[in-house]
Structure 1
Amino acid sequence: MAEMSDRTKGFLIAGLGVLFLSPDALLVKSTSVPPVVFLFWRGLLLALSFAVINSLRYRSQLLPAMRACGRRGLYCGVAFAGSTLGFVTGMKHTAAGNVLVILNTAPVIAAVLAWLVWRERLPLRTWVLILVCIGGATLMAVGEMGKGQPLGLIMAGVAAFSLASNLAVARSRPQADMSLMLIFGALLICIVAACFGGAQWPGWHDFGRILLLCICFLPAASILIQTGPRYLPAAEVSLLLLLETVIGGFLVWLFLDEIPGPLAFAGGAIILTALAVNGFIEDWRQRRRASRLKKAGRASRLPE
């Protein structure tokens, strides 16, 4: 069996991370605590989960591995906190559709940042895929769009830029495991929320859902998605995150009976179709490349 390419590995890692992330919207919507309380416990439990997981992964080499991330690693931690705080605050102060439309620009922001700072270029096919998927995600959000407070729109923009720049910076140092710096980012979320009065007991009912989210789903999702840029351009990792809008929306519909409108179904179909077509094209290219290499190897072994 041919060795898996970095690109394929990146798609599998980031795609699995998106699957783990998908229950996020469902579990957030099923809690009734104020956002600042939710953020405090989310940050605290994630920090503990990241610390345990990475201690098992690296053991005595954890601190040296974190130091190897350098200043860019610190930025990734801050950006992780910024994307979480921006998303939750944006949802609180403006319509969900406004937040999703702004957040859907993350793939373009990531691609532009990678090109401006590190001169990383994307093929035309990827740009077409990004634009098609953003169009589909925007259709999904159109039904919920509405007027909101300026603070909500600003924080949604902070979330989009933080997410995109986090993945772009992580991509710039693929030799370092930037997922280790999520410990720092989660602690920062907890501290900021505590400063705004979030250090309150949410009640056992809501705490059970927050615990399930922050122990079973988000740690694996965050680590896998943060690892994706080691093998895949940041814009393409951001692109895969649009799948969470589709799968997460389906779970909310399934368990909470929030029926999406026709535009949401159309947008979801566009995203899934575009990503599926891209996957088939990428698989065909990989098989063709492997076949050429195999033929070249046979030719080199022929007697003169």
Structure 2
Amino acid sequence: MNGSMNNWIRTSWPTLAIMLGASVWGMIWYPLRMLAALGVTGTAASALTSGAGCLFVLLVRHRAIRTVRWHWLLPALALAAGVTNLGFVWGSIHGQVMRVLLLFYLTPAWTALFAHFILHERLTWTGAALAALSLAGAMAMLWSPQIGLPVPASLAEWGGLVGGMGFAMSNVLILKTSRDLPEMKAEMRTATIFGGAAIFGACASLFEAMPNPPTGAHLGTAALLVMGLGFLLASNNMLVQYGVARIPANRASIIMLFEIVVTALSAWLFAGEMPGPREWTGGACIVLASALSSWVHRTRSQSGSGAAHQSAA
């Protein structure tokens, strides 16, 4: 009995870590909106918070720098993280947020494709069904007759689609990096991700004017917000990497859709946007897909352990 409980706890922690990380991401829009109210544009805020997060990791975990070895995966991971950040932020600023979100959260489809070719993960019928259930939940929450089908109709919407592809690639590359560079500390993967996002955000901010930059007291408040967000996002990223490195990429992408549920609830609490029947229905589908995915993974792990035990005997 104790062995089963310990196995359940061990297999559940990665899922919990990803769900907690998704919860933070689902509420991060609110402090970013506060920065925008202070005069900091979205791309500049992303660059500054990502840079602060990278600096925080390098300062706190400076001893882990010695574990870094040159590998093509590191610039690839930085590039994917930068594309994710730039595509999502730029698309959200210049496009219709709901449509950009819908295109961004086609991530499981891209994850299945990338994981098949890069990680050689076989997509099972069960995994495909759970991905379809989670996508159905996203569609139920984000689709409306006014918005229409999730087909890019502008550069901003293409930004959301490309950002989702970058997010899927980041998840796959994190897992591959943990396998191919096992001696490299997870914190250095976090620094790589934030470094790439900071560079891309800084490049994007060069093309986005800041008409009312913060001054005086607002400048101090903005600086504190940037440092606080950098600390929060860096810590949160390391938490999520703990989970992503321990479960299949396809299942991680499904669990990350929990962010949509948190976004809907935080918008209700902080912005007075009351979720309707579609939001609740879609959220239920996403939570159900995450729960079933975790259960299927535990069942397979237990079956594998049992088979190995019988073989050894």
> TM-score, normalising length from structure 1?
0.82
1:170 deviates by 2.1
Match of 2:230 in 1: 215
Percent identity over the alignment?
Answer: 20
- Structure 1 distance, partners of 2:171, 2:38, is 29
Deviation at 1:243, TM superposition (A): 0.4
- 2:197 corresponds to which residue? 186
CA distance in 1 between counterparts of 2:193 and 2:158 reads 24
Query: Which residue number in structure 1 is paired with residue 107 of structure 2?
Result: 106
Rounded to whole Å, the distance in 2 between the matches of 1:216 and 1:145 is: 39
Deviation at 1:20, TM superposition (A): 2.5
Residues of 2 paired with 1:259 and 1:11: CA distance?
A: 28
CA contact (8 A) 1:114 1:168 kept: yes
C-alpha displacement at 1:12, in angstroms? 3.3
- Using the alignment, how far apart are the partners of 1:145 and 1:89 within structure 2? 22
Give the counterpart of 1:67 among 69, 75, 79: 69
Asked if 2 retains the 8 angstrom alpha-carbon contact of 1:40 and 1:198, the reply is: no
* Conserved 8 A contact 2:86-2:163: yes
What is the deviation of 1:74? 1.1
Is residue 22 of structure 2 the alignment partner of residue 18 of structure 1?
A: yes
Match of 1:166 among 166, 170, 187: 170
Deviations 1:179-204 (A, max 9, x none): 23124213313421342255773462
Alignment of 1:214-293 (within 5 A): 214-286=229-301
Q: TM-score, normalised by structure 2?
A: 0.80
The 2-side partners of 1:103 and 1:35 are apart by 26
Amino acid across the alignment from 2:63: S
Match of 2:156 in 1: 152
CA distance in 2, matches of 1:73, 1:11: 25
Q: Which amino acid aligns with 2:44?
A: F
Change (3 A) 1:229 1:280: closer
In 2, the alpha carbon distance for the partners of 1:111 and 1:217 equals 29
Taking the aligned partners of 1:283 and 1:289, their CA distance within structure 2 comes to 10
Tell me if the contact between 2:53 and 2:231 (Cα under 8 Å) persists in the aligned partners.
no
Structure 1 counterpart SS, 2:81: helix
Structure 2 counterpart of 1:201: 213
CA contact 1:83–1:159 (8 Å) conserved in 2 = yes
* Secondary structure in 1 matching 2:123: coil
Question: How big is the shift at 1:281?
Answer: 4.0
CA contact (8 A) 2:38 2:222 kept: no
CA distance in 1, matches of 2:257, 2:248: 15
Distance 1:9 1:262, change over 3 A: closer
The AA in structure 1 aligned to 2:16 is L
Letter aligned with residue 259 of structure 1? M
Q: Alpha carbons of 1:118 and 1:278: their partners in 2 closer, same or farther (altered >3 Å)?
A: closer
Q: Relative to 1, partners in 2 of residues 1:228 and 1:89: Cα closer, same or farther, differing over 3 Å?
A: same
**Aligned twin of 1:78:** 79
Once residues 174 and 82 of structure 2 are traced to their aligned partners in structure 1, the CA distance between those partners, rounded to angstroms, is 15
Name the aligned partner's letter for residue 42 of structure 1: S
